[in-house]
Amino acid sequence: GTESARWLKELEKFAKGTFWEHLGLRAVDVAEERTIIALDAKPEHLNGMDIVHGGVLASMLDSAMGLAVMRAYPGRRIVTTNLNVHFVAPMKTGTLTAVAEIAHKSRTTITVQASVTDAAGKLGTIGTGSFRLLD
């Protein structure tokens, strides 16, 4: 909706010149229920075995989950305190999508779950993260 579109516009400004932009991430949908980001995986995202580097996939999970927390707590500063990643299948070049949903909230810590799939819907990576509200 309109609220999601506003968030996408703000994110675009916020991400300018950051690791998010360097990696090539883009927000697809920033709704309260779930956050979706995408990456067009190119040869520079691959490792020596011609599969997407694990660091790229972990960054996608972290970014999608962090964005979900930012969306739930607008204007608050947050940091990742824990990131668990399971690489369940190799990912190749093409469009990769990460979907994140908040699993639990406490006073200062938010636990989020996310997954990365390829264009065919094949699951490649799953993870959870903990995020701390700093203020």
- What percent of the chain is predicted at pLDDT more than 90? 76
CA distance 52 to 26: 17
Mean per-residue pLDDT of the chain = 92
The answer for residues whose C-beta is within 8 angstroms of residue 115's C-beta and 6 or more apart is 61, 98, 99, 123, 125, 126, 127
The arithmetic mean of pLDDT across residues 29-33, rounded, is 82
Q: Is the pTM of this model over 0.85?
A: yes
CA proximity to 114, closest of 74, 66, 48: 66
Asked whether 130 and 110 are in contact (CB, 8 A), the reply is yes
Residue 4: predicted pLDDT: 65
Q: Of the ranges 2-6, 41-45, 119-123, which one carries the lowest mean pLDDT score?
A: 2-6
